[in-house]
Amino acid sequence: MFRPDAPIEEIEQDVESMIVELVHELGRVAEADPNPVGAEERAYIQAFSDARANSDRDQAALLATAISRPNLAESLLYLNRRLDQEDLAPDEPVGIIGIIVRLAMDGLWVSDILDDTRFNQREREKITSLLTGMTYLTDDRLNAVLADIAPGGDAARGGSQGQKR
């Protein structure tokens, strides 16, 4: 990706360009989704689901840059802040799921960079399938789930679900 002797300015430009392209790609994928509710989160899941699969991007360089020079990741930071504000709007109760999904994907992405053997393909698909499913939750369904898991709800009383840990 980077020439071994590349000046830091060139590396910074390359990383910033990768991040800007990633943000544009997220927008394109979300716009192409036939279901607009949760589309941005599903695009995020797709983009960050497997750092190894995104070999056209130097994932470690992106992470290091985001930590050491957040100004270069400004477009991604802005996107997340915008989505967070939309998702935290009082008229958007299910929006909180978007924040949870993006945080989970950020964690999976960093985990992949630090230890690319932590999850095998089947485990990764299980994780991303669950997160993708969460993006389809409606306000009514979310409220029902929250009521079920609240202290005193069916799940807290050992409900009839019979789920194991």
Dump pLDDT digits (tens) for 28-37. Answer: 999 999 999 8
Domain ranges of the chain: 8-149
- The values of phi and psi at residue 69, to 5°, are -140, 70
Give the CATH fold of the 8-149 domain: Tetracycline Repressor; domain 2 (1.10.357)
Inform me whether the pLDDT recorded for 104 exceeds 80: yes
Instruction: Inform me whether the pLDDT recorded for 163 exceeds 70.
Output: no
Mean pLDDT of 113-128: 91
**Cβ of 63: how many Cβ atoms within 10 Å?**
17
Of the pLDDT bands very low, low, confident and very high (cuts 50, 70, 90), residue 115 is confident
Query: At 18, is the pLDDT very low, low, confident or very high (cuts 50, 70, 90)?
Result: confident
pLDDT category at 16 given cuts 50, 70, 90 is confident
The mean per-residue pLDDT over the stretch 39-43 comes to 95
Average pLDDT for the chain:
83
Return the SS3 of 31.
Answer: helix
User: Which pLDDT score is estimated for 52?
Assistant: 61
Q: What is the pLDDT of residue 150?
A: 85
In this prediction, residue 43 carries a pLDDT of 94
How would you class 129 by CB atoms within 10 Å of its CB: exposed for 0-12, middle for 13-18, buried for 19 or more?
A: exposed
